[in-house]
A = this chain, B = another copy of it.
Amino acid sequence: MESEDDFKEFIINGDKKFVPHLSIDCVIFGFHNNLLKVLLLKWGKIDGWSLPGGHVLRGENVEDSAYRILKERTGLTEIYLQQFKTFGKPKRTGNALELLFKSSGVNTNIKSWLLDRFISIGYYALVDFSKVMPTADWLSEKCAWHDINKIPPMLFDHNEIVEEALKSLKFAIYHQPLGYNLLPERFTLPQLQKMYETILNKKLDRRNFQKKILSLGILNRLEERMKIGPHRSPFVYSYNKEKYEAALKEGISFSF
């Protein structure tokens, strides 16, 4: 949806343009300052936070829809995107929608089909924090990163959705190399390790971690070293795109 007018149109006649009852919610993960972050929207019309999301257009592929939403909020097009779960509890949106309708001055005598529930397909995305331009939309006054550990109570069942996305991410990190998407192009092994530690929420042994990660053969060590203050400068690494793609496809297996 592009504007408030679109939104009013949606409430009243939305089933002509959108697939009714169906929405997409995106849990956009970024990694910054050794912390895992999630991109959230602060609503303008009513008080509260939510995940970036939106509705599927008629004729639009569901996955394309997720990419569209991600582009609108982050400015990015090349993104790691993964469907992880579909949420369909009755009343999962609580009374937030009615509040929103009222705040928009729309007659709340809306079509009865809106009242049963929204089904929401959950996708998580992994993005390079430094490349994202968080962008609010017409219904939100703010779009901002939040620490995964400091997520405010959100509207609807979005806290649960984040929990599930994190669970899926934790599971995925054992079977897929994910650093390519979450880190900048050039990074150090300690940074990569912090990423793993943050997602897995546990400490790893530095030497064993490096042994394992290097044994995958998907990293290139560059000549360069990174200045990190009053300490020894770690080597800079980058991913070998080809081998990385192969590892993504075949899958890997970490024990940690």
Contacts and interface: CB of A to CB of B under 8 A. Distances in A.
State how many copies of this chain the complex holds.
2
Nearest to A111: B15
Nearest to A62: B88
User: Chain A binding site: helix, strand, loop or mixed by DSSP?
Assistant: mixed
Interface residues of A, number: 26
Contacts of A90: 58-61
A88 to B, nearest CB: 4
Nearest to A115: B58
A146 interface: no
Given A56-B88, A58-B116, A88-B62, A19 B19 contact: no
A119 interface: yes
A116 B61 CA distance: 11
A5 B21 CA distance: 25
A62 B83 contact: no
A86 B83 contact: yes
A221 interface: no
B88 A121 contact: yes
A250 to B, nearest CB: 13
Contact of A86 (B15, B113, B116, B121): B121
Interface string A11-40: 000011001111000000000000000000
A62 B89 contact: yes
Q: Which of A16, A60, A89, A117 has the most CB of B within 10 A?
A: A117
A140 to B, nearest CB: 25
Contacts of A88: 22, 56, 61-62, 121
A85 interface: yes
A58 to B, nearest CB: 5
A112 interface: yes
A60 to B, nearest CB: 7
Interface in A77-97: 83, 85-86, 88-90
A86 B62 contact: yes
Contacts of A56: 88
Nearest to A86: B86
Contacts of A59: 90, 116
A19 B89 contact: no
